[in-house]
A and B are shown apart, each in its own frame.
Chain A
Amino acid sequence: GNSVTQMEGPVTLSEEAFLTINCTYTATGYPSLFWYVQYPGEGLQLLLKATKADDKGSNKGFEATYRKETTSFHLEKGSVQVSDSAVYFCALKGSARQLTFGSGTQLTVLP
């Protein structure tokens, strides 16, 4: 079946530092890949998505590239802000209609 393996957290960075959160997946066929973000006390917000190999999803300074050869979809941001502190989830959608999520990575950005 499908699975998503996500970088263990928590991750603590200083403001303006570079962020990478690793995500690898196992799936049959050609899934779509997503990053969702969850702020304290809230639901999941879509951050970005990519639907085919070599696609790059981007939003609010975050980027992730769909790498089929390495089955990866790593999240990056060049300069994090305190307001980026949240939990980040990598997810995939394959031929089944539900999303399969990684375990989540807690990010804390210190001023």
Chain B
Amino acid sequence: KAGVTQTPRYLIKTRGQQVTLSCSPISGHRSVSWYQQTPGQGLQFLFEYFSETQRNKGNFPGRFSGRQFSNSRSEMNVSTLELGDSALYLCASSLFPDRITDTQYFGPGTRLTVL
């Protein structure tokens, strides 16, 4: 079974631009979560989608948004990019997100650099 895939793997943007990142979950997984990883803040939760609905959101400004499609693929968008948005963005999918015992499986990440 194919794992979580993320595209693109690398992105370079300039301040003020916007960017869209894509994530395809493991087949059959309907929950997709996004995390931001930076050297200073570590791994921080952005949001979670299940059946096309955002159910949970972390403490990030409104410039960070996302959506999920009927095939469970998800996109996240960052508008008006700032230098501090440079990070590795990780997507994770899972099968039973409401279960405490559920496991999240991660993709390889998208490395975003903002110049």
Contacts and interface: CB of A to CB of B under 8 A. Distances in A.
Interface string B1-23: 00010100000000000000000
Q: What 8 pairs between A and B have smallest CB-CB spacing? A: A98-B45, A101-B43, A44-B106, A43-B106, A51-B101, A43-B108, A43-B109, A97-B97
Contacts of A97: 31, 33, 48, 55-56, 97-98
Contacts of A32: 100-102
A29 B101 CA distance: 13
Nearest to B33: A98
Interface of B: 4, 6, 31, 33, 35, 42-43, 45, 48, 55-56, 58, 90, 92, 97-98, 100-109
Contacts of A12: none
A88 interface: no
A53 to B, nearest CB: 13
Given A32-B101, A34-B103, A101-B42, A96 B56 contact: yes
Interface string A84-111: 0000010001111111111110000000
A49 B100 contact: no
B107 A98 contact: no
